[in-house]
Amino acid sequence: MFVDEATVEVSAGDGGDGAVAFRREKYVPRGGPAGGDGGKGGDVIFVASHNANTLADFRHVRHLRAQKGAQGGGNNMSGKSGEDVVVELPVGTLITDLATGELVADLIEAGQRVVVAKGGDGGQGNARFATARNRTPRKATPGWPGEEKKLQLELKLIADVALVGYPSVGKSTIIAALSNARPKIAAYPFTTLVPNLGVVRWADYKEFVIADVPGLIEGASEGHGLGIQFLKHVERTNLIAHVIEVVPQLEGQETERDPIQDFHRICKELASFNPEILERPQIVILNKADLPFVSDEIERLRAYFEEEEKLPFIAISAAAHQNLAELQLMLGTALENAGFGKQKEFWEP
């Protein structure tokens, strides 16, 4: 199950108590203080990893506790430090302290580590309190408590390209045709209930990550459909790929869908959620171009998007594998060059 939000409580280990002890050796009747310090408490550590791709584990694990440090011993022996708790999180996870609202960390790179709760220091043994006036101190200090926090975890997928568009325009078919991803595909709306990620190899030793974002319809930014849940996954992408389709017109009926209107409706939802999204490079992909009623519309749509919107346009058929190599090259080259060239600076409704 794909889960992109979770709440977890973390408790670092308390430090171990310092010890009160004295030397007890033969022929040393008045041995001095020899109590060791307590061990440090264990930390709670989060690590970004590609091995994790969801926060589903936190549906069952709501509290993470690190080990307490051991008490100090005699002969100036320090206590053993408590074991850390190390948990892998998906790359792209934001960690927020719910008490303060502070962003603790943004895990954007694999291997990135962050200590979210620090273990308490160990207490001091009585050996540390010996003075010229008091050579047999019977004082030791307790360990310091470990940090405790309640954290909000939010996963925002990191992809190079985001496929956006109405349900059933063929986004899942495109990602399956371009990459190694195997999303569920069917001819009904909202087949895709979770974002899908795929890796596309477009040249020798060159790859990019593509994401299929589900459920964008008019009103998505206000909670309609599934879009509000997944719009945040578009925020981290470098390039927006609008997937449009031509809806067949039945005899005697007018269709409520037009690919140009669909494009503007999706742009409106993206801008309502975060206007900065539409400042990124964009491309328009007309899918299902192998169908007769679609091929008749290609040149009209190409002229509109290239001349009016100043956006690159390509007609493909993911199901028939038409123009997929050209699409791969366009996307890969744009990512490498940080854009397609001149585009509108701002989206205009």
Helix (H) or strand (E) segment spanning residue 47: strand 44-49
Is 165 part of any known ligand binding site?
yes
Q: How far apart are the C-alpha atoms of 190 and 260, rounded to whole Å?
A: 21
To the question of whether residue 136 is assigned a binding role by annotation, the answer is: no
Tokens of 283: 């491309």
- Residues sharing a CB contact under 8 Å with residue 253, sequence separation 6 or more, in sequence order: none
Tell me if 237 is assigned to a ligand binding site: no
Q: Is 170 annotated as a binding residue?
A: yes
According to DSSP, the β-strands at 5-11 and 148-155 are: antiparallel
Is 304 assigned to a binding site?
no
125 among annotated binding-site residues: no
Q: In what order do the strands lie in the sheet with 206-212?
A: 196-203, 206-212, 161-164, 239-244, 282-286, 313-315
Residue 278 has phi, psi (to 5 degrees) of -80, 5
Residue 317 counted as an annotated binding residue: yes
Bridge partners, 313 (sequence order): 284
- Is 96 among the annotated ligand-binding positions? no
According to the annotation, is 209 in a ligand binding site? no
287 appears as a binding residue in the annotation: yes
44 among annotated binding-site residues? no
Q: Is 184 annotated as a binding residue?
A: no
* Residue 49 labelled as part of a binding site: no
Instruction: Establish whether 332 is an annotated binding residue.
Output: no
Secondary structure E strands in 156-195: 161-164
* 319 is known to lie in a ligand binding site: yes
CA distance 167 to 216: 7
Distance between CA atoms of residues 10 and 43, nearest Å: 9
Question: Is 221 among the annotated ligand-binding positions?
Answer: no
The answer to the question of whether 172 is labelled as a binding residue is yes
Q: Rounded distance, CA 244 to CA 163, Å?
A: 10
Q: Please state, as a whole number, how many other Cβ atoms lie within 10 Å of the Cβ of residue 152.
A: 16
Q: Is 192 a known ligand-binding residue? A: yes
Task: Judge whether 179 is annotated as a binding position.
Answer: no
Spatial separation of the C-alpha atoms in residues 164 and 334, rounded to whole Å: 17
Q: Which of 177, 217, 117 is nearest to 327 (CA)?
A: 177
User: Is position 86 annotated in a ligand binding site?
Assistant: no
Q: What is the 3-state secondary structure (H, E, C) of 268-281?
A: HHHHHHCHHHHHCC
User: 212 labelled as ligand-binding?
Assistant: yes
How far, CA to CA in Å, does 95 sit from each of 55, 129, 154, 155, 230? Answer: 12, 41, 7, 9, 18
Q: Is 301 annotated as a binding residue?
A: no
Annotated binding-site residue numbers: 165-172, 190-194, 212-215, 287-290, 317-319
Annotated binding-site residue numbers for Mg(2+): 172, 192
Annotated binding-site residue numbers for GTP: 165-172, 190-194, 212-215, 287-290, 317-319
